[in-house]
A and B are shown apart, each in its own frame.
Chain A
Amino acid sequence: MKKINHYLICFFCWLALVISLTLVLGVIVILVGKGIGAINWNFISQPSTNFGQSGGILYQIVGSLLIVIVAFLLSFPVAIAAALYKSEYLTNKKWQYWSDMMLHILNGIPSIVFGVFALLFFINICGAHVSWWLGSLILAIMMLPILTFSSYFYLQRLSPEIRDSCLALGLTKGQFIRSFLLKRSFVGAVSGSFLGLARILGETAPIMWVATVFAGGAIPSSWSEPVATIATHILILAQQANDPQAVSNGWGASLILISLVFILAGIGFYMRRQQLRIQ
């Protein structure tokens, strides 16, 4: 009986592992298999025409990168400053608890709620027009907790000897932060930024009402213009699921998006592994 139980448990564990790996890798195999046929130089270098049914996705790639890079530039300094404050100046236990809490909540808010908030706050309350920098702003908010935690935990891993010797040399807290901790928080935040960028690159819901147009996006020439992104482009193509040409273009765009995401996430996880090794 014991033996049978043992074999049953082993069998089900292995079965589950095989099923999940098949499913998860199957997704990638399907994406690569279907997407590789649609990608050629024209697909990357041409603007799309006819609601994406023909042509390429040049403007979408530019739009995605623009929104995401500006979001990164907006959130990076704020996140570093917040992490430094949380780690160096915030000694009150209660405040530590509540700041952790707020960061956790901000990290867990569903992306669609960010979209609703952006529509309400930027467009309805502040009266802004649909433009790409609003998308950057809301994505920057989504990135903030990831960057802050990443930078904060790297600061926390600093050995107390280093802190003590710096203070023993007569540095004030401010000098210690400027000359030593700033660089360290920077390093911590960089690995988090890759992970954060990988997360926000594929986001559609937060920006679909405030920053993107569904047809005929172009490279923006001013602040107050909407753009098209790869993710919204896939959304449009997915809604034309009966048209094989549109679906094929959708697979191509998905493959490009997923390659970008995987490269960013891969770099991020690699850097985090490295950081966990050194003190």
Chain B
Amino acid sequence: MLENLNIYPSMLKYNKELGLQHTLALSFFVIIALPVLIFFVLLIQSKRAFLEVGLGLLSTSWFPAGQEYGILAMLYGSAVVVILALAIAVPLSLLSALALTEFVPKSLQLTIKSILEILAGVPSIIYGLLGIVILCPWLEQVFDISTGRTLFAGGLLLALMILPMMISLFEDVFSQIPHEFRDNSSSLGLNKSQIILALILPISKYPCFNIILLAMSKALGETMAIMLVIGCVDKFPNFWLPLSAGQTVTSKLGRDLGNYSFHSIEFSVMIAMALILLIPTIIFSFVLKKRELVR
């Protein structure tokens, strides 16, 4: 501030400068404070769950009337759904992006890429409608089960939801590799598939890992679509196959949070689940940021 004073002795001008800076700073620090505020509000409200239920959270039965507040079934459901979705979407999107950058003509590539970017914004509630009206009855027919609302349906729907985003992100990575690299490789006598195996995939190993992390955090937080197709049964699945109804953390929150009264212990446990949902987001952000600095 002292330099400003030296250049502009007029008090008025000095105040104007400082006023602008302070106004801008205020908005900036409001934004920076928001994630911290969200974290602490959730932490304070879930304190009761951690103190009074404690390790009881790590049981498999959710039965508030009987003082049982196990959230393991929901965590299991979330894990199954996300792993299923990634197992389907990662290979599919990786190979599609490779085809898009290496085999498809340039003009068509841009068109497909634009379409995918826009399609990545389809609201999740619309996927939910799609899942409940089309996917679930189809699953009932194919697997001959009484209801199609299963963990498997959730995984399939989630894979479909993250697919356009992942293809377009992978494509970004692959098309950023300089063209000289490809030219050099092909002048050494490598054909396209060898270029893919020896150049493209090794070079983009870390960015691809980042994209998978990003997709994972998106998939963990999906609510509306999953909530409609998952079946919403709070039990740990009886057999270890995903073809049974289940519950994820997000669907439990979406379905039931409104039903419990504030200040009840089950409400506090629900807030603890929201906090658990927030923690991977924070970890992934740190990992992604760190990798960005390393590269």
Contacts and interface: CB of A to CB of B under 8 A. Distances in A.
Given A20-B96, A144-B31, A125 B41 contact: yes
Interface in B73-124: 91-96, 98-100, 102-104, 112, 114-119, 121-124
A209 to B, nearest CB: 6
A265 B121 contact: yes
Interface bin, chain B? 35 or more
Interface in A111-125: 111-117, 119-121, 124-125
Contact of A258 (B45, B122, B134): B122
Contact of B95 (A12, A172, A201, A231): A12
A82 B217 contact: no
A112 B223 contact: yes
Interface stretch (B50-58, B61-69, B175-183, B283-291): B283-291
Contacts of A10: 103, 192-193
Contacts of A69: none
Nearest to A238: B129
Nearest to A77: B27
A27 B122 contact: yes
B257 interface: yes
A16 B96 contact: yes
Interface of A: 2, 5-6, 8-10, 12-17, 19-21, 23-25, 27-28, 30-31, 77-79, 81-82, 84-86, 88-90, 97-106, 108-117, 119-121, 124-125, 141, 144-145, 148, 172-174, 177-178, 195, 198-199, 201-205, 208-209, 231, 234-235, 237-239, 241, 247, 250-251, 254, 257-258, 261-262, 265-266, 269
A14 B133 CA distance: 30
B28 A86 contact: yes
Interface string B259-285: 000100000001100100110011011
A238 B228 contact: yes
A116 B38 CA distance: 10
A254 B129 contact: yes
B288 to A, nearest CB: 7
B5 interface: no
Contact of A30 (B117, B134, B278): B134
Contacts of B191: 2, 6
Contacts of A195: 121
B126 A14 contact: no
A110 B250 contact: yes
A112 B253 contact: yes
Contacts of B271: 116, 120
Contacts of B45: 120, 124
A108 B41 contact: no
A113 B277 contact: yes
Given A17-B100, A247-B133, A99 B28 contact: yes
Given A81-B28, A82-B24, A254-B126, A109 B121 contact: no
A121 B42 CA distance: 9
A262 to B, nearest CB: 6
Interface string B26-45: 11101110111110011001
Contact of A6 (B126, B194, B254, B284): B194
Given A110-B223, A247-B133, A202 B278 contact: no
Given A6-B193, A112-B274, A78 B125 contact: no
B100 A237 contact: no
B27 A78 contact: yes
A106 B28 contact: no
B42 A82 contact: no
A50 to B, nearest CB: 19
B102 A13 contact: yes
A199 to B, nearest CB: 6
Contact of A98 (B32, B115, B117): B32
B95 A117 contact: no
